[in-house]
Structure 1
Amino acid sequence: MTPPTSQQQLYRFLEDRFTCAQACTECARACAVRASLLDPDGTERQERVRRLGIMCAEVCDATCRMLSEQNRQDEAGIRVQLEWCRSVCLDSAHALDEQPGAEGTAASCRDCARACTDFMATLN
């Protein structure tokens, strides 16, 4: 990964990285709570939403941990993780759109996807 070239770029990079990690944490929490509220023996659609919520929580948690690490990571690896997180969050948001009372969780997923996209834009 090429280091940011100016102090201002470094601050922007770190802010975007923190914002993305924070959005991942919020999305993971919201998806885990939502998944725990759904009956595992419910309808096929509810089971799909529950599984997506669990997967989204796990992917967001892994992304947050990766972004929190202080050691050098290659840009390609970060991009793959961010793209995976973005994709899973959008899939979860779409599935949650069909669930009554899940608007807040869907919004958290979309916020996380947007933060991943924004952070990817700061990478060289």
Structure 2
Amino acid sequence: MTSTTSQQELYGYLEDRFACAQACTECARMCALRAGVFDPDGTVELERVRRTGIMCAEVCDATCRALTEENTRDEGGLRVQLEWCRTICLQCAQAFDTRPGAEESAAACRACARACTDFMAVLA
């Protein structure tokens, strides 16, 4: 943000940043819950979905930390982190779409991807 940024723009920026961090936290929570679901059949497909959920949770957690650090001033690095998070969340949502009972987790992933996209627009 530049020194000429209005107070209203700054508030909007911080609100969008918080909304994105909050969506990342919720997505990470839902992915961690889904990753803990035990499949007695141990199918390869479920293992792929589980690993995708774990990776998504880790990326969302890292993104949330980046968004909540006050000293994060590198918008380029933040944009890369947000794009990575958005991409992983969409991949995870697609993986969850293949699992019965994972609709809420898929929705959390898509909400996080939207929040990342919205926040990137603010950085433009």
Supply the RMSD in Å over aligned alpha carbons: 1.5
Measured against aligned partners, the alpha-carbon deviations of 1:85-124 in whole angstroms (never above 9, x if no partner) come to 0000000000100100000000000000000000000003
Measured against aligned partners, the alpha-carbon deviations of 1:9-45 in whole angstroms (never above 9, x if no partner) come to 0010000000000000000000000000143971111
Aligned partner of 1:25 in structure 2 is 25
Q: Is the 8 A contact 1:40 1:50 kept in 2?
A: no
Q: Is the 8 A contact 1:35 1:50 kept in 2?
A: yes
Aligned partner of 1:119 in structure 2 is 119
Question: Is 1:12 equivalent to 2:12 in the alignment?
Answer: yes
TM-score w.r.t. the length of structure 2 is: 0.95
Equivalence map 1:1-124=2 (5 Å): 2=2, 5-39=5-39, 42-124=42-124
Residue identity matched to 2:71? N
Query: For the structure 1 residues 39 and 12, does the alpha-carbon distance in structure 2 shift closer, same or farther, using more than 3 Å as the test?
Result: same
Percent identity between the aligned chains? 71
Q: Is the 8 A contact 1:4 1:13 kept in 2?
A: no
Q: Is the 8 A contact 2:66 2:72 kept in 1?
A: no
- 1:37 partner SS: coil
Q: Distance in 2 between the 1:103 and 1:70 partners?
A: 34
Q: Distance in 1 between the 2:90 and 2:64 partners?
A: 17
Unpaired stretches in structure 2, ≥5 consecutive residues: none
Residue identity matched to 1:120? M
Q: Is the 8 A contact 1:56 1:85 kept in 2?
A: yes
Q: Distance in 1 between the 2:102 and 2:32 partners?
A: 12
Unpaired stretches in structure 1, ≥5 consecutive residues: none
